[in-house]
């Protein structure tokens, strides 16, 4: 863990070495030196503990400043346009959000606004807020709150999914009229690259070291003495899931941790021991009511998955009549029109991924409920895959937004979002909440107690 000042920090310059706890399996481990651009992984579940970046501050600041400029261009200029009978109809991302709102699809409008406009802006501005004062030799104001906001923005910003959605929309629009690409289409692509590069170069450990300097010596473990228990919780320690700081729990939580280490099932590990002394995030030995909340989100997602695939996701009115398209009919249309690669992508992202994600999280939660010790390393990999691919289900939502905003020729054709669009957006959000609510440390807890 990084050098920071707190009474709960672990590590002593003279007799102890820094200690870190894995955020996925809670295993206590001593830190080791990592070369530039190297990665330290957990020796048990192989999760990434931290990365070391060379010149991370300067690179992150440069990418973030470029992302801010690109965000302005992406939202000020048209993304794409349609040329029909000499008339050019163009739309911006905000225009697509406004059309959905005016059509009564305000939940969908809010979801698109948050994931494509608000969160990328928070991500770029948050990095500039933190990095620019440090570059000038100053301390950023309320760095703890900005850091927590940045973590949320990185989870919910979906610029890369938007780009793929725009490509699918272009293929569909090409069969309606002449498509004219706007400057925002290219700037959104560049924005995606800059945000990804900034997130890759950002070194949170280096940030806190620069903010807090050399720490006072705190309680730790001697480098030649074994840990009293394998996990942080069993030692009465909590790892912050935002900044990675390892701190001691409150005295009552220490007793809970000792109880946990001596019985065959987790006991009272869901209360908040307090707040992280460094970033202010809530600390918990285990996520509160993790399995209950996971099952609640999953059941709601399963219920909404049916109307999301049965009801029309898009209503099209034209001179030739009205047509209602489901998600599957949109896949068939792309396939029959010759765009089979996009058809496969849409099928995987919009149909297969939500269903497989529900099944995967249900599988993990069920085994955790029964305290199974079956293949914890494989279950940990499944959890990481679920977290990685969940956001790509938003693909169809972005396609609908662009088509709804552009195809508004009252005399020729009109496209409106159908009722399944809201249900499908809710499925995506609920499955993401389910994955966030599930505590991967529960996979390893039964193995520890046995």
pLDDT in tens, 87-132: 778 889 999 999 999 988 999 999 999 999 999 999 999 999 999 9
Supply 204's token pair: 């949170």
Average pLDDT for 64-86: 91
Strands (E), 220-378: 237-239, 246-248, 274-275, 282-283, 314-318, 321-325
DSSP-derived secondary structure for 96-112: HHHHHHHTT-HHHHHHH
pLDDT score for 100:
92
* Terminal-to-terminal C-alpha distance of the chain: 29
What pLDDT score does 299 carry? 97
Nearby residues of 109 by Cβ (< 8 Å), 6 or more positions away:
97, 98, 100, 101
Query: Would the pLDDT of 4 be above 50?
Result: no
Instruction: For residue 375, give the 3-state DSSP assignment.
Output: coil
Average pLDDT over residues 407-435: 85
What is the DSSP-derived secondary structure letter of residue 159? H
To 5 degrees, how large is the angle CA 38–CA 18–CA 252? 125
pLDDT band at 364, cuts 50/70/90?
very high
Give yes or no for a contact between 398 and 185, defined as CB atoms under 8 angstroms apart.
no
CA Rg value for the chain? 24
Q: What is the mean pLDDT of the chain?
A: 83
Residue whose structure tokens are 């898009």:
314
CA distances in angstroms from 408 to 109, 322, 330, listed in the order given = 17, 14, 19
The tokens describing 203, both together, are 């070194």
pLDDT digits (tens, 9 = 90+) for 122-169: 999 999 999 999 999 899 999 999 999 999 999 999 999 999 999 888
Reduced DSSP (H G I as helix, E B as strand, rest coil) percent helix, strand, coil of the chain, to 5: 55, 15, 30
Q: CA-based angle 427:116:111, to the nearest 5?
A: 35
Domains of the chain with bracketed CATH: 19-53+215-283 (no CATH), 56-202 (no CATH), 290-445 (1.20.140)
Is the confidence at residue 374, as pLDDT, over 50? yes
The tens digit of pLDDT for each residue in 419-431 reads 999 999 999 999 9
Dist CA 434 CA 190 (whole Å): 31
Distance CA 327, CA 154 (A): 28
Q: Are 417 and 313 in contact (CB under 8 A)?
A: yes
Residue whose entry in the numeric block shows the structure tokens 């206590």:
28
| Model pLDDT, residue 185 | 92
pLDDT of residue 1: 38
pLDDT confidence tier of residue 174, bands split at 50, 70 and 90: confident
Q: Which residues does 370 contact at the CB level (< 8 Å), separation at least 6?
A: none
**E-assigned strand segments in 122-200:** 178-181
Cβ(288)–Cβ(272) below 8 Å: yes
pLDDT of residue 210: 86
**Taking the C-alpha atoms of 236, 151, 203 and 445 in order, what is their torsion angle to the nearest 10 degrees?**
30
Query: Count of residues for the chain?
Result: 450
Is the distance from CB of 417 to CB of 330 less than 8 angstroms?
no
Q: Give which of 329, 286, 333, 305 is closest to 393, Cα–Cα.
A: 305
CA distance linking residue 151 with residue 168, whole number of Å: 29
Q: Tell me what the mean pLDDT of segment 358-362 comes to.
A: 96
Pairing of strands 314-318, 246-248: unpaired
pTM for this prediction: 0.86
Does the pLDDT at position 367 exceed 50? yes
Average confidence (pLDDT) over 367-378: 91
Backbone φ, ψ for residue 67 (5° rounding): -65, -35
Distances (CA, A) of 32 to 41, 52, 152: 11, 12, 29
Q: What is the pLDDT of residue 321?
A: 59
């Amino acid at each position: 863990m990084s050098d920071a000042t707190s009474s709960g920090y672990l590590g002593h310059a003279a007799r102890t070495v820094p200690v870190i706890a894995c955020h996925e399996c809670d295993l206590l481990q001593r830190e080791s030196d990592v070369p530039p651009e190297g990665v330290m992984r957990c020796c048990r579940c192989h999760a990434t503990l931290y990365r070391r970046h060379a010149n991370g501050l300067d690179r992150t600041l440069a990418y973030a400043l470029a992302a801010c400029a690109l965000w302005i261009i992406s939202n000020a200029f048209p993304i794409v346009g349609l040329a029909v009978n000499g008339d050019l109809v163009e739309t911006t991302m905000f225009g697509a959000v406004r059309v959905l709102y005016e059509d009564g699809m305000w939940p969908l409008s809010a979801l698109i606004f948050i994931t494509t406009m608000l969160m990328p802006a928070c991500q770029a501005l948050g990095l500039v807020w933190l990095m620019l004062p440090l570059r000038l030799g100053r301390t950023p104001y309320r760095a703890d709150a900005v850091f927590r906001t940045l973590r949320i923005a990185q989870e919910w910003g979906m610029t890369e999914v938007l780009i793929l959605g725009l490509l699918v929309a272009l293929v569909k629009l090409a069969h309606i009229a002449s498509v004219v690409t706007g400057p925002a289409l290219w700037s959104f692509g560049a924005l995606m690259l800059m945000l990804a590069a900034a997130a890759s170069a950002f070194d949170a450990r280096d940030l806190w070291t620069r903010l807090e300097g050399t720490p006072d010596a705190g309680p730790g473990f001697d480098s030649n003495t074994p840990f009293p228990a394998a996990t942080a919780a069993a030692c009465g320690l909590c790892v912050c899931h935002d900044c990675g700081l390892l701190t001691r729990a409150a005295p009552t939580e220490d007793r809970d941790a000792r109880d946990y280490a001596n019985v065959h099932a987790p006991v009272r590990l869901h209360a908040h021991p307090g707040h992280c002394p460094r970033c202010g995030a809530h600390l918990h030995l285990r996520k509160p009511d993790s399995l209950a909340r996971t099952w609640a989100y999953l059941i709601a997602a399963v219920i909404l998955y049916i109307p999301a695939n049965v009801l029309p996701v898009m209503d099209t009115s034209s001179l030739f009549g009205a047509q209602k398209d489901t998600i599957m009919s949109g896949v068939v249309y792309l396939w029959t029109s010759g765009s089979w690669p996009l058809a496969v992508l849409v099928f995987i992202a919009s149909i297969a991924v939500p269903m497989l994600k529900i099944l995967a999280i249900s599988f993990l939660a069920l085994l955790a409920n029964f305290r199974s010790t079956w293949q914890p390393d494989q279950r940990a990999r499944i959890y990481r895959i679920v977290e990685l691919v969940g956001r790509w289900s938003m693909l169809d939502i972005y396609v609908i937004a662009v088509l709804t905003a552009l195809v508004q020729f009252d005399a020729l054709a009109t496209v409106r979002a159908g009722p399944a669009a809201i249900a499908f957006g809710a499925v995506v959000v609920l499955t993401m909440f389910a994955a966030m609510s599930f505590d991967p440390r529960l996979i390893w807890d039964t193995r520890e107690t046995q």
